[in-house]
Amino acid sequence: MEVMTFAKELIITAFVGHLGPVELSSLVLSQTLYNVSGNAPMLGVVTAMETFCGQAYGAKKYSTVGVVTQRALVITTLFNFMCIAMWGKAEALMLAMGQDPHIAKAAGRFTILLSPCLILDGIEQCLRRYLAAQSVVQPLMYCTFFATLLTPLYLWFFIFRCAWGFDGAAVAWAAVQLSSCLGLLLFTLWHTYGQEPTKRTWAGWSRECLTEWPLYIRVAIPSAVMICLDWWTFEIIVMLSGLLPRPEMTMSMMGITFNIHALCFFAAHGLSGAASTRVGNELGASRPRQAWLNTQVSVLMGTVIMIVCAGLLLLFREELGALFAADREVVLLTSQAVPTLAISLIGEGANTVLAGVLRGCGRQKIGAQINLFMYWGIGLPFACVLAFRMGLGAMGLWTGLACTASLQSLILSWIVFKFDWNSEAQRAKALIAAGELDVELEEEVELMNSAGGVRDVLLDASPASKPSTLTL
């Protein structure tokens, strides 16, 4: 499902890439701003639902699932409008960052045209997690698949039939998002009102959705930080490629490889959401052994999926660039970057699944700390040194990311695999019963307050600092 979701963006990139290198570079820059200032933090706000809804449904607190969903819809929509308000200065911001004036102008206009997409995507993401918490996933795949099939038709109509060119791609994107959101909304209504009255998770809009915002936000903030620190690193790398010689070529290559990376990443990201839901359900139902088993299986599957993806990329490295660009030099640069890209995928597969496990446990703060230390303390500086000081260019940027992702996967695995799952189940039970998140162990509070928080995480291994042995 996540792969098909991102496939829509790949199709858009392929259409725009054949309009020319300037249009492709403008699209890449616009996507970067859209993701950095809108999509990534919005997803962070939404993913707080995975903790609340997953644990509440596992504990059979069905009405709580609906109230949390309503609360998330309101908070997410308000947040998205604030993001859109900033996009009016998109072109000026890009120029201030040293981007090419022609590319910055086209990218700024394209970003503004994408404004409806952010609102619609926020609603859709909330509905997805509402259904996923109840283990309803198959209809989500049908809705996403239908929207993906419509994408080429919308692109042809608005770009070529209406002769709107580059602007038509933004309008087509909004049309695809609207189709997907409406389809999911209709199914959600059908599913909800078809439930047994005793298990109904939505009893109509409630004033309770306007309460307990601080509680939701306290979980949403570390969720957003965890996602943004990871996602922003890749987007900043794309922006940095625009500062290299011949930016129209390097940015085009980075945009293509980033989209290929994201397509493979979203295969593991779907598993991450499933892991978050399953772990949350099991902890809410006081079944720590099952939560631990789900964690092991999810991490193994995520790693295997990424190894398969890496192998396929290496096998078809010569053909990948031609799918997204007509310029021969861009195609050649893309094929040269694929081996490094393949290495980074293996670490990212484990990282994204482990992040889902942390969300299911309500341990987003740990993920935020590790992402801050690894990507911003090590990854970005290392990539910049390789690219600019050592003269490796765009290849240096990807090499820095690949090394960081691999090291982080080892650290996160060590931390999560040393969790005391009995304690995590008790914590989830206290969270559901008390309706608040201040049920945290002393070790985690010390992690957040100490100056060397990440160092302490690596030393203590987990909030409970105990092995994962279960004594049931």
Query: DSSP of 78-128, one letter per residue?
Result: HHHHHHHHHGGGHHHHHHHTT--HHHHHHHHHHHHHTHHHHHHHHHHHHHH
Residues sharing a CB contact under 8 Å with residue 167, sequence separation 6 or more, in sequence order = 109, 110, 113
Question: What is the per-residue pLDDT across 224-240, written as a single tens digit (0 to 9) for each?
Answer: 888 888 888 887 887 78
Please, are residues 129 and 49 in contact by the beta-carbon 8 Å criterion?
A: yes
Question: What is the per-residue pLDDT across 329-364, written as a single tens digit (0 to 9) for each?
Answer: 888 888 888 888 888 888 888 898 999 899 888 888
Residue 219 class from Cβ within 10 Å (0-12 exposed, 13-18 middle, 19+ buried)? buried
Residue 55's pLDDT is what?
82
| pTM for this model (two decimals) | 0.73
Residue 468 lies in a domain: no
Residue 420 lies in a domain: yes
Dig out the tokens for 118 from the structure: 């952010």
Residue 432's pLDDT is what?
65
Q: How far is CA 44 from CA 281, 369, 393, in A?
A: 20, 15, 31
Residue 472 lies in a domain: no
Q: Which range of residues forms the domain containing residue 88?
A: 2-460
Residue 433's pLDDT is what?
62
Q: What is the mean pLDDT of residues 155-167?
A: 92
Torsion 56-62-63-67 (CA) sign: positive
Residue (of 173, 134, 160) closest to 5 by Cα position: 173
The residue behind tokens 């198959």 is 138
Residue 338 lies in a domain: yes
Taking the C-alpha atoms of residue 141 and residue 426, their distance in angstroms, rounded to an integer, is 34
Residue 171 lies in a domain: yes
Which phi and psi (to 5°) does residue 471 adopt? -120, 90
Residue 427's pLDDT is what?
80
Residue 467 lies in a domain: no
Tally of structural domains, the chain = 1
Residue 218 lies in a domain: yes
Residue 466 lies in a domain: no
